[in-house]
Amino acid sequence: MNNKSINLVAVALLGSMNAYAADEAKSPWTSSAELGYVTTSGNTNTSSLNAKFDIAYEVEKWKHTGHAETLQSDSRNETTGLDEKTADKSLVTYQADYKFSELDYALGLLSYEEDKFSGFEYQAKAVLGYGRKIIINEDMRLKLEIGPGERKYKPDFMPSESDPFIYLAAKYGWDITPTSKFTEELTADFGDKQDEWKSITALTANINSSLAMKLSHTVKYLDVVPAGNDNYDRETAVTLVYSF
């Protein structure tokens, strides 16, 4: 094989490697796992586990996002000496977006939540709506969503109920520096029987290219709750986030 042939083979191999790398860089999948664990002993004996998982698939006009989370907490009863469950919550959501343009999209949203200490056995929601990106630039993003929805829920020891509602959401992101970002997600459901809003505020700082530290504060409000339960539910967490 002469030098010219060798050069052509080398160029072809290099081109195919570059094309493969480009395809890898444009993977439609993104995902992250989040974990926080706290245990105390001595005067107070408690343990808490907060875990979340997010995955997204985006190709052409479609974007699919899934989210799952759980919060588990135990505390030692000093009178009985036994561990008692103080938090047991899980949430799963799925959203599909279809882009009409660079800014506008239709959305479908499903969610299912179980919280042993909320007074409800479960709460499930389905929404069809419209979203629009209001701000898109290098370091700041804002999108708004609206649409009709249906909620099905079951209070403890009571029959299940249904409630139509109007869904509103504002989702904001700000890249403060190349290694840190601030996010705020505010959602509200205005129904015939129940109004609900939820705020998730978070500050994330990268440790390296795939690992980050995250501080978040979540506030959830229900205007009608079973007797003995609070209208407000608050959660503050410090977690490690691994992106892959």
In tens, the pLDDT along 175-198 reads 999 999 999 999 999 999 999 999
Q: Regarding predicted confidence, which is higher, 82 or 238?
A: 238
pLDDT at 42: 62
CA distance 120 to 118: 5
44 confidence band (pLDDT: 50, 70, 90): low
In the block, residue with structure tokens 């974007």: 63
Q: Which domains are delineated in the chain?
A: 29-243 (2.40.160.40)
pLDDT tens digits, one per residue of 120-174: 999 999 999 999 999 999 899 999 999 999 999 999 888 999 999 999 999 999 9
**Percentage of the chain modeled with pLDDT above 70:** 86
Q: Pinpoint the alpha helices (H) of the chain.
A: 3-25
The answer to whether the beta carbons of residues 138 and 178 sit under 8 Å apart is no
pLDDT computed for residue 25 by the predictor: 58
Q: What is the CB neighbour count within 10 angstroms for residue 148?
A: 12
Say if CB 52 and CB 72 are below 8 A apart.
no
pLDDT in the model for residue 68 = 98
Assess contact for 135 and 174: CB atoms under 8 A. Answer: no
pLDDT band at 87 (very low <50, low <70, confident <90, very high): confident
Neighbouring CB atoms inside 10 A of 71's CB total: 19
- Please tell me the predicted confidence (pLDDT) of residue 10: 39
